[in-house]
Amino acid sequence: QVQLVESGGGLVQPGGSLRLSCAASGFTFSSTDMRWYRQAPGKERELVALITSTGGSTTYSDSVKGRFTISRDNGKNTLYLQMNSLKPDDTAVYYCKAVVPRGSYFYAYWGQGTQVTVSS
Protein backbone atom coordinates (compact mmCIF):
# COMPACT_ATOMS: atom_id res chain seq x y z
CA GLN A 1 0.00 0.00 0.00
CA VAL A 2 1.09 3.55 -0.72
CA GLN A 3 2.02 5.46 2.42
CA LEU A 4 3.19 9.05 2.88
CA VAL A 5 4.03 10.19 6.40
CA GLU A 6 4.94 13.82 7.07
CA SER A 7 6.88 14.95 10.13
CA GLY A 8 8.86 17.92 11.42
CA GLY A 9 6.14 20.49 11.96
CA GLY A 10 5.75 22.55 15.10
CA LEU A 11 5.61 26.02 16.60
CA VAL A 12 8.27 28.50 15.50
CA GLN A 13 8.75 32.25 15.86
CA PRO A 14 8.71 34.57 12.83
CA GLY A 15 12.09 34.45 11.13
CA GLY A 16 12.75 30.93 12.33
CA SER A 17 13.31 27.71 10.40
CA LEU A 18 11.88 24.20 10.18
CA ARG A 19 12.64 21.16 8.07
CA LEU A 20 9.74 18.92 7.09
CA SER A 21 10.15 15.30 6.02
CA CYS A 22 7.88 12.96 4.08
CA ALA A 23 8.65 9.24 4.32
CA ALA A 24 7.32 7.33 1.31
CA SER A 25 6.64 3.64 0.76
CA GLY A 26 4.57 1.33 -1.43
CA PHE A 27 5.64 2.72 -4.81
CA THR A 28 8.76 3.46 -6.83
CA PHE A 29 9.73 6.72 -5.17
CA SER A 30 12.74 7.31 -7.43
CA SER A 31 10.49 7.37 -10.53
CA THR A 32 7.89 9.73 -9.06
CA ASP A 33 7.71 13.52 -9.09
CA MET A 34 6.81 14.78 -5.62
CA ARG A 35 5.01 17.87 -4.35
CA TRP A 36 4.46 19.79 -1.13
CA TYR A 37 1.10 21.49 -0.57
CA ARG A 38 -0.25 23.51 2.33
CA GLN A 39 -3.68 24.46 3.58
CA ALA A 40 -4.47 27.23 6.04
CA PRO A 41 -7.85 27.45 7.82
CA GLY A 42 -10.52 28.81 5.49
CA LYS A 43 -8.23 28.73 2.46
CA GLU A 44 -7.80 26.48 -0.56
CA ARG A 45 -5.03 23.92 -0.57
CA GLU A 46 -2.14 25.38 -2.55
CA LEU A 47 0.94 23.96 -4.22
CA VAL A 48 4.11 25.05 -2.44
CA ALA A 49 6.87 23.23 -4.33
CA LEU A 50 7.51 20.47 -6.85
CA ILE A 51 10.56 18.32 -7.47
CA THR A 52 11.13 15.95 -10.36
CA SER A 53 11.92 12.29 -9.83
CA THR A 54 15.70 12.67 -9.98
CA GLY A 55 15.74 16.00 -8.17
CA GLY A 56 16.99 17.69 -11.32
CA SER A 57 14.30 20.37 -11.45
CA THR A 58 12.34 22.26 -8.80
CA THR A 59 9.44 24.71 -8.90
CA TYR A 60 8.17 27.04 -6.14
CA SER A 61 5.16 29.17 -5.40
CA ASP A 62 5.97 32.88 -5.59
CA SER A 63 5.05 33.23 -1.92
CA VAL A 64 7.88 30.92 -0.77
CA LYS A 65 10.50 31.35 -3.49
CA GLY A 66 13.86 32.24 -2.00
CA ARG A 67 12.86 31.04 1.47
CA PHE A 68 11.93 27.37 1.01
CA THR A 69 13.94 24.55 -0.59
CA ILE A 70 12.50 21.22 -1.71
CA SER A 71 14.84 18.24 -1.92
CA ARG A 72 14.78 14.46 -1.87
CA ASP A 73 16.90 11.45 -0.98
CA ASN A 74 15.92 8.63 -3.31
CA GLY A 75 18.08 6.17 -1.37
CA LYS A 76 15.98 6.84 1.74
CA ASN A 77 12.62 7.28 -0.05
CA THR A 78 12.27 10.62 1.70
CA LEU A 79 11.14 14.08 0.56
CA TYR A 80 12.17 17.25 2.42
CA LEU A 81 11.10 20.86 2.67
CA GLN A 82 13.56 23.27 4.29
CA MET A 83 11.67 26.39 5.42
CA ASN A 84 13.64 29.51 6.39
CA SER A 85 12.61 33.07 7.28
CA LEU A 86 9.18 31.84 8.28
CA LYS A 87 6.26 34.27 8.37
CA PRO A 88 2.88 34.06 10.13
CA ASP A 89 1.27 33.60 6.70
CA ASP A 90 3.17 30.31 6.39
CA THR A 91 0.98 28.85 9.15
CA ALA A 92 -0.81 25.85 7.65
CA VAL A 93 -1.00 22.08 7.53
CA TYR A 94 1.67 20.87 5.11
CA TYR A 95 1.08 17.78 2.97
CA CYS A 96 3.20 15.77 0.57
CA LYS A 97 1.63 14.34 -2.58
CA ALA A 98 2.53 11.55 -4.98
CA VAL A 99 0.80 10.65 -8.26
CA VAL A 100 1.23 6.93 -8.77
CA PRO A 101 0.31 4.75 -11.77
CA ARG A 102 -2.09 1.84 -11.23
CA GLY A 103 -2.61 -0.09 -14.45
CA SER A 104 -3.65 2.44 -17.07
CA TYR A 105 -4.74 5.04 -14.49
CA PHE A 106 -3.03 7.44 -12.10
CA TYR A 107 -4.00 8.09 -8.49
CA ALA A 108 -3.08 10.94 -6.19
CA TYR A 109 -1.94 10.00 -2.69
CA TRP A 110 -1.63 12.38 0.24
CA GLY A 111 -0.01 12.13 3.62
CA GLN A 112 -1.86 12.96 6.83
CA GLY A 113 -0.21 16.38 7.07
CA THR A 114 1.96 18.11 9.65
CA GLN A 115 1.02 21.38 11.36
CA VAL A 116 3.31 24.39 11.05
CA THR A 117 2.49 27.38 13.25
CA VAL A 118 4.49 30.61 12.97
CA SER A 119 3.73 32.93 15.85
CA SER A 120 5.41 35.07 18.48
64 vs 56: CA distance, rounded Å? 19
Predicted local distance difference test score (pLDDT) of residue 66:
98
Nearest residue to 61 (alpha-carbon basis) of 44, 76, 75, 47: 47
| Regions in the chain scoring below 50 on pLDDT | none
34 vs 67: CA distance, rounded Å? 19
Q: What is the pLDDT of residues 65-96, one digit of tens each?
A: 999 999 999 999 999 999 999 999 999 999 99
Predicted local distance difference test score (pLDDT) of residue 33:
97
CA angle 1/109/95 to nearest 5° reads: 120
- Amino acid (1-letter code) at residue 88: P
Predicted local distance difference test score (pLDDT) of residue 26:
96
Strands (E), the chain: 3-7, 10-12, 18-25, 34-39, 46-51, 58-60, 68-73, 78-83, 92-102, 105-110, 114-118
Predicted local distance difference test score (pLDDT) of residue 68:
98
Q: Give the β-pairing of 34-39 and 10-12.
A: unpaired
Predicted local distance difference test score (pLDDT) of residue 106:
95
Average pLDDT, the chain: 97
